[in-house]
């Protein structure tokens, strides 16, 4: 199966990513495999667009309590026994269809991660 540009666009895969898939498999992917790569290499699962940008942020500082890649959220000491916990949520569905429910899903993920790290408001 040779994928068309439209099929790749629907899966948010680039032509370069498709070439990588073909190279890794040693053949053209079937429809199921292509769908799996599209999902696994998506922003939601792999942070393919934001990860390079996040890597540009400084990660070493005496104030960084939990740095890049250590947990699902970062923690920065702001003094006087306080810290800021930051989390980016990748849920983008159903935001486009149901903005309020989509936002609630995203916020729920952020709150879950921050609380399970032991942070409290």
pLDDT at 91: 67
For residue 49, tell me if it sits in a domain.
Answer: no
For residue 86, tell me if it sits in a domain.
Answer: yes
The mean per-residue pLDDT over the stretch 62-91 comes to: 87
Q: Are 30 and 60 members of one domain?
A: no
- Residue 108: give the domain boundaries: 56-116
Residue 82 has pLDDT above 70, yes or no: yes
pLDDT at 38: 93
What token pair was written down for 79? Answer: 């003094």
Task: Give yes or no: 49 in active site.
Answer: no
Distance separating alpha carbons of residues 117 and 71, to the nearest angstrom:
8
Q: How many CA atoms lie within 13 A of 27 on its CB side?
A: 5
The mean per-residue pLDDT over the stretch 22-44 comes to: 93
Reported pTM? 0.61
Distance separating alpha carbons of residues 116 and 17, to the nearest angstrom:
35
Catalytic residue among 33, 44, 89, 103: 44
Catalytic residue among 36, 41, 91, 119: 91
Q: How many independent structural domains does the chain possess?
A: 2
For the chain, what is the mean pLDDT? Answer: 87
Task: Give yes or no: 93 in active site.
Answer: no
> SS3 for 82?
strand
- Please answer whether residues 11 and 18 qualify as being in contact, where contact means their C-beta atoms are separated by less than 8 angstroms: no
């Amino acid at each position: 199966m040779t994928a068309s540009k439209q099929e790749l666009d629907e899966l948010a895969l680039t032509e370069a990513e498709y070439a990588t898939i073909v190279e890794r498999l040693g053949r053209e992917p079937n429809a199921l495999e292509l769908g799996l790569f599209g999902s696994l290499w998506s922003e939601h699962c792999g942070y393919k667009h934001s990860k390079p940008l996040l890597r540009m942020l400084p990660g070493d500082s005496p104030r960084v309590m939990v740095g890049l890649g250590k947990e699902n959220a970062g923690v920065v000491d702001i003094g006087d026994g306080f810290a800021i916990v930051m989390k980016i949520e990748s849920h983008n569905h159903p935001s486009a269809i149901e903005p309020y429910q989509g936002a609630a899903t995203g916020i729920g993920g952020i709150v879950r991660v921050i609380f399970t790290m032991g942070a409290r408001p």
